[in-house]
Structure 1
Amino acid sequence: MTPVTEASITEDLRLAADFQPATYDDWRKLVDGVLKGAPFEKLIGKTADGLKINPIYPRAQNAAVVAGRPAAAPWQIMQRIDHPDAAAANAQALHDLENGATGLTLVFSGANGAHGFGLEPSAEAVEKVLAGVFIDAEIGIELQVGPQSRMAAIHVAEYVKRKGLGPAACNIRFGLDPIGACAVWGSSPYAWSEIAPAVTGAVKGLAAMGFKGPFAVADGRVIHDAGGSEVQELAFVLATGVAYLRALEGAGVALEDARAMVYARLSADADEFLTLAKFRALRLLWARIEQACGLTPEPLFVAAETAWRMLTQRDPYVNMLRATVATFSAGLGGADAITVLPHTLALGLPDPFARRAARNTQLVLLEESNLAKVSDPAAGSGGIESLAQQLCEAAWTLFQEIERAGGAFAALEQSLIQRKVAATRSVREANIAKRKEVLTGATEFPNLHEAHVAVLDAKPVELPPYGEAKFKFDALPPMRLAAPFEALRDRSDQIRKDKGARPGIFLANLGTPADFTARATFAKSFFETGGIEALDTNGFTDPAALGAAFKASGAALACLCSSGKVYAGQAIVAAKALQAAGAKHIYLAGRPGEQEAALRAAGVNEFVFAGGDALTVLQEAYRLTE
């Protein structure tokens, strides 16, 4: 191998200078040649908010200055602590801190992110969970509490005092968020006029004890988990943050001090560029809020958590890849702290391996990929700058609409926010059903023979009810995108358990492997995403042999698979043979084209193709096999 020297580099640069610089017009001519008259707009993507994503961007001019985590300062590696047994939770916390975590996310039962588990919110449990944890030694502590577990924040503060620790030396984010809780629950026992004094009283009390905060969180997960868009998430965070600032100012806290009492939390998902742009956009937007308050902007503390809605129960190891992309994006976007949800969380309480993988996701990205070495590495990127600017403009417009409605709580009471989220969620669910939005292992490339994944056996903490819901409005419950397909897989598992075999579909492959492999592969993935096992074949040219093989398979359903050319000559005869052999329902992989009427007359009932409503087809297939 030729060594790289200064002389060789100079020679390479000289050779490069001999070529004319490529321009956008040069690229556009090449693209137009490939498009062959098709509109260029086909290459322009759109986000859930309708924001445009062009296929290529020039270097950004006058790039935005995003003040956030400084260069070479790593984000806090937060590890989720949510075991209902306090002793087990303490063992997890100590192990995590000994093995690379630099912070703990204490998730209490009833919190928005608890997902069925969580710590007991009692003084005794807090004492056990924090035993041996040196929380005054620059360890980040973040609390996730709900209305029923809100006293956990006070118990943590009292624990610090009881141990004789200096509150100002503790890096604790108390996570108070009554607006977020009301949004998820869809109700509240109290009006905002009653909630505001309660939350500001708690904040002022904690501050008086000497804690530096921040204390209240504007939590964007509320919107993201419910299926909302990036713009909706950003606008909700702004509106919630401003609501807490207003409440604190109304309680006599100077805005200069109040802003340090509030922080933000965003979801990070596997859409790399959109996530990165969203984190950058939040900092720009919050700086605008501070300017409107007459303050000189200072960096907002932004915590990140990998997205709940992208987790799958099926093929959960792919969740590790999604979490890696999400962590990468949040880290480059300037997150100050990141919590990675373990890859098995959607199945139950994660075991030590899942927890280790979550922790090491961050360690590898920080210590081996050195992601924290550069401050705001996306600055100047045409694509990221453009996307961040579009997010800022759209989110600011929605924030203003929420403010005109009376603020975050009033907008929830009027279901202004919920209606927008519901509309976005509906489109997202339709895209999932049509597999336009792909979740590998769940909605695409399923594995019906995947091994069982272990989770811990733990009994969740039971909490007493929290007051009478006097104020009711539409709720924003969390969802997972893969859930509808997973319900079908669960149904398949139950049928296999009861009857010894899953529902099956016979792949009636026509011609040679070169003819049918592409569509047979598509059909196998299509039906097995719903738990209907594809019974593959070697290919047929003889209709009688096809009919006999189908009858021998014991399947009720069949799917013709081949090329358009073979369909033209064999599909009609093959469909008749399958119908004569007793096929209850016959599918054809591909669009019917001009042959549709003839194929239907021959017995083809349905056509399956990319972009079709796979979920509806699969649900109907179960009805046909009953």
Structure 2
Amino acid sequence: MSDPLKLASEFPSADYASWRKLAEDALKGAPFDKKLVTRARDGFSVQPIYTLDDQDDATRLIHEVLTATVEPRETVTGWDIRQLHTHPDPKATNAAILDDLENGATSITLKLDAAARQGREISSGEVGVDGIAIHCLADLKIALDDIYTNLATIGLDAGAAGVPAAALLAAHIASSDDADEAAPAFNIDPIGTLAATGALPCSAEDAIGHAASVACDLIDLFPLATAISVNGTPYYNAGATDGQELACLLASGVTYLRALTDAGMVVDQAAGEIVFNVAVGTDFFAGIAKLRALRMMWSRVLSASGAQDATISINAISAEMALTKVDPWVNMLRTTVTSFAAGLGGADSVTCLPYDHLIGLPDGFARRIARNTQLILQEESNVHRVIDPAGGSWFIENLTKELAQTAWGKFQSLEASGGILKALANGSLKSEIETVWQEREKRLATRRDPLTGVSEFPNIAEAKVQCDTPDLDAIQADAKSRQTKYDGTVGKDLASMMEAARAGATIGHIFTDLYGTSAATRISPLTPHRLSESFEALRKRADAHKSASGSFPQIFLANLGKVAQHTARATFARNFFEAGGIEAITSNGFDTADAAAKAFAESDAKIAVICGSDPQYGDMASDVAKALKSAGASMVYLAGHPGEARDSYEAAGIDEFIYVGADVLAICGAALDHLLGKRGEK
């Protein structure tokens, strides 16, 4: 009896050489390496296809190494769903936390306001700005009222005031039942703070040493806690490649590891007190590979340090650089990609930012979408049921290996040149990252790296997302009413700081007693960027004009012939200019230059774009351009590459050409200057 399930056995076997020949035939002479091989930002090549032959001893060992860095229990519980909270009012924050924890979130991060993060007193005008107004133990108790700290991890984002804020949180948790079962994430990170803000209240070395000393005391109180954070987001959001971020994470991690062991911890204990915060962008496979590469490289560091346990803690967070202010609904898709990549990459906890994170304070709906994104990923994909779920993919294994090797080389270079602190202080690291950002900007400007809803398919008429605007005056008044007078002097050890906090000392008071009132260390900080920022600057100018005049800056589409003849380029032109906030006035199409000129004059527009097919351009473009200029067009564009006809078109009055690969930012910026004036509404 013949086998009815032969399936693939009836097909001839495939091999790389045969596939390569078919691919080259399909390219019709175009170079294979240029069309199908991708050059990663870190410099290595990504092939279009991988086979078993691409696996070497190094790639075969990756999965084995990574499985040793993951706690098996995580395959049962899934990664930790962490929610970021920034509402300035502690009472509103408490309500939001309870809502999150009751509906799927498993931990939270409290971001303190700008005043607390810089160790300033409650009299500062920055109370409640860009974070929660938590300045004393009473504030923290309101924010964490009815929160079981032994069940939900409480994380801090406290900037330069990481140590005083940790003392407040430690005092709060220590007074609760089952405090020894709590697993807070104190996230003290002087290096990340220096990179992001350019300032520390003492020397970087002293700040790290003090953080390590306090970490020892914190872990004595809370054995399940993590005390030190290694934060890669300042580097990635400044434009760093994945390899550069990984190198900075390793260099910072090694610096903290040395400080913790110098403070008296054994290596395994010190490694357990460190958590890595990693930014994940929308390059899906790169995000997976980055987390896997970090696990592999940190395992190598720990092995070289004599550690017996290679376990690593990673919190992945949606990269702010990838989010947009315009068409923010697309951010739901972006954060789905970042969260899924984080889960596949083996993150222990994931922070999915709300879609309106950049616009203002997220409401309950935005927070719900953020946490449900992760819940659905866990429940529908079940990737958390597998240790290293991306393992075995020849592509991802090779991508992990290439990224790890590149990042390891950058890490060794950082160490050889004096370490992460020296690279930050002398500006060399900032310069390297800015160079990468400038190259990325060029790709964004020409839409080689497209941004959906921003540089591609923009919707300038979209309704704006409205966010809650809290009453800062009332919040500041409430904060002041909770303050109690504390005249004591605060010691540098954790017990003294906790005692002062219980007696009413504020973060500002503890900070001043520890460090004084002026920043002792100042450098040039890393400059944060977002991929959409330049396009949004153009859109902001256009929106300001609409607010003042009632309409957007406009451009007239002089469409030629029938709809089928001009639709492709008319659509291209519309998207091109609306990416810069310039509204396109469309038309059904014109058979003569005079008809196009007459419609243009009636539109009240100042500039026009000729849209049609190449044959039409040969027959009509010059005449249409002359007619448009005669009708008052101060600028005339042509949609399409002019090729050898550039000189004749320019002689006829065409000023600029828009085509695939043209600099959208430069052309739209010049058009806005022309329409609004160079100084107008920037």
Common fold by TM > 0.5? yes
1:18 aligns with 2:10: yes
Q: Are the structure 2 counterparts of residues 341 and 434 from structure 1 closer, same or farther at C-alpha, using a change threshold of 3 Å?
A: same
Question: 2:21 — aligned with what?
Answer: 29
Aligned to 1:230: 242
- Counterpart contact for 2:321–2:529, Cα < 8 Å: yes
The verdict on how the C-alpha distance between 1:69 and 1:31 changes in structure 2, with shifts beyond 3 A counting, is: farther
The corresponding residue for 1:101 is 105
Q: Contact conserved, 1:507 with 1:535, CA < 8 A, in 2?
A: yes
Equivalents in 2 of 1:379, 1:443: separation in Å?
35
Q: Secondary structure, in 3 states, of the residue corresponding to 1:215? A: strand
Q: What letter corresponds to residue 43 of structure 2 in structure 1?
A: G
Q: Distance in 1 between matches of 2:7 and 2:454?
A: 49
Deviation at 1:600, TM superposition (A): 0.2
CA shift at 1:164, angstroms? 3.7
Deviates more, 1:79-88 or 1:117-126: 117-126
Per-residue CA deviation, residues 474-528 of structure 1 (Å, 9 max, x unaligned), is 2113222111111211211111111121110001111222221111111100100
CA RMSD between the two structures: 2.0
Aligned partner of 2:4: which letter? Answer: E
- Counterpart of 1:64, as a letter, is I
Output the amino acid matched with 2:62: A
Structure 1 residue 69: Cα displacement: 4.8
CA distance in 1, matches of 2:655, 2:147: 64
Q: Name the SS for the 1:11 alignment partner.
A: coil
Asked if 1:260 is matched to 2:295, the reply is: no
* Aligned: 1:202 with 2:252: no
Q: Give distance in 2, aligned partners of 1:555 and 1:144.
A: 50
Matches within 5 A, 1:9-408: 11-12=4-5, 14-42=6-34, 43-59=36-52, 61=55, 62-65=60-63, 66-67=66-67, 68-70=70-72, 71-110=75-114, 116-137=130-151, 139-148=152-161, 150-167=163-180, 169-408=181-420
Give me the whole-angstrom Cα distance separating, in 1, the residues matched to 2:136 and 2:570. 57
Q: What amino acid is the match of 2:32?
A: F
Shift of 1:136: 0.9
Corresponding residue to 1:524 among 574, 581, 588: 574
224-233 or 146-155, which deviates more? 146-155
2:268–2:308 Cα contact (<8 Å) kept = no
Is contact 1:121–1:149 with CA below 8 Å preserved after alignment?
no
Give the match for residue 603 of structure 1: 653
Amino acid at match of 1:586: V
> What are the residue-to-residue correspondences of 1:412-427 with 2, within 5 Å?
412-427=424-439
Q: Is the counterpart of residue 490 in structure 1 residue 494 in structure 2? A: no
Note if contact 2:303-2:310 (Cα within 8 Å) is conserved in structure 1: no
Q: In the comparison of the two structures, how many residue pairs are matched?
A: 615
Q: Percent identity?
A: 39
CA distance in 2, matches of 1:180, 1:117: 18
- Structure-1 separation of matches of 2:444 and 2:466: 27
Per the TM alignment, residue 270 of structure 1 is displaced from its structure 2 partner at its CA by 1.1
Give the secondary structure class of the aligned counterpart of 1:586: strand
For structure 1, list consecutive stretches of 5 or more residues without a partner in the other structure: 1-6
Q: Distance in 1 between matches of 2:623 and 2:632?
A: 15
Mean CA deviation greater in 53-62 or 425-434: 53-62
Q: What is the match of residue 123 of structure 2? A: none
Residue 475 of structure 1 is matched in structure 2 by 525
- Once residues 426 and 100 of structure 2 are traced to their aligned partners in structure 1, the CA distance between those partners, rounded to angstroms, is 43
> How many Å apart are 1:126 and its aligned residue?
1.1
Q: Distance in 1 between matches of 2:162 and 2:521?
A: 20
Answer whether contact 2:190 2:204 (CA < 8 A) is retained: no
Q: 1:568 to 1:54 in 2, by over 3 A?
A: same
Q: How far apart, CA to CA, are the structure 1 residues paired with 2:339 and 2:603?
A: 47
Shift of 1:311: 0.9
Separation in structure 1 between the aligned mates of residue 280 and residue 656 of structure 2, nearest angstrom: 39
C-alpha offsets along residues 223-255 of structure 1, whole Å, 9 cap, x if unaligned? 111111100110010011111111111222221
* Larger deviation, residues 481-490 vs 140-149: 140-149
Which range moves more in the overlay, 117-126 or 282-291? 117-126
Query: CA offset at residue 105 of structure 1?
Result: 1.7
Residue 63 of structure 1 deviates from its aligned partner by 4.8
Task: Provide the TM-score with structure 2 as the length reference.
Answer: 0.87
**1:385-439 Cα deviation digits (max 9, x unpaired):** 1111111111111111111122211221122221111111111122212222121
CA contact (8 A) 1:267 1:306 kept: yes
SS of 1:280's partner is helix
Equivalence for 1:535: 585
Letter of the aligned partner of 2:663 in structure 1? D
Tell me, in whole angstroms, the C-alpha distance in 1 between the residues paired with 2:248 and 2:648: 54
Counterpart check, 1:622 vs 2:672: yes
CA distance in 2, matches of 1:149, 1:25: 57
How far residue 467 of structure 1 moved from its aligned partner, in angstroms, is: 4.1
Q: How far apart, CA to CA, are the structure 2 residues paired with 1:189 and 1:107?
A: 19
The 1-side partners of 2:231 and 2:162 are apart by: 17
In structure 1, distance between residues paired with 2:177 and 2:349: 27
